[in-house]
Amino acid sequence: MADAVSDILVILLHGVGSNGESLASLGKRLATALPSAFFAAPDGPEPSATGQGRQWFSVVGVTAENRPARIAAARPGFDATVSAIIEENGFVGRLDRVAFVGFSQGTIMSLDAIASGRWPVGAVVGFSGRLSAPEPHAPKGSTPLLLVHGTDDRVISAEETENAAGKLAALGLPVEMRIEPGLGHTISGSGAAYAGEFLAKVFGAVTTA
Whose CA is closest to 201, among 162, 148, 146? 146
Residue 182: other Cβ atoms inside 10 A? 8
Whose CA is closest to 98, among 120, 114, 79? 120
What whole-number distance in Å separates Cα of residue 129 and Cα of residue 107? 5
Respond yes or no: is residue 43 known to be catalytic: no
Type of residue numbered 18: S
| List 43, 58, 185, 188, catalytic entry | 185
Q: Do residues 11 and 200 touch, judged by C-beta distance below 8 A? A: no
Respond yes or no: is residue 48 known to be catalytic: no
| List 6, 18, 48, 104, catalytic entry | 104
Respond yes or no: is residue 104 known to be catalytic: yes
Q: What angle is formed at CA 114 by the lines to CA 109 and CA 115, rounded to 5 degrees?
A: 95
| List 6, 48, 112, 153, catalytic entry | 153
Q: What are residue 77's phi and psi, to 5 degrees?
A: -65, -40
For residue 5, the 8-state DSSP code is T
What whole-number distance in Å separates Cα of residue 183 and Cα of residue 98? 28
> Which residues form the catalytic set?
104, 153, 185
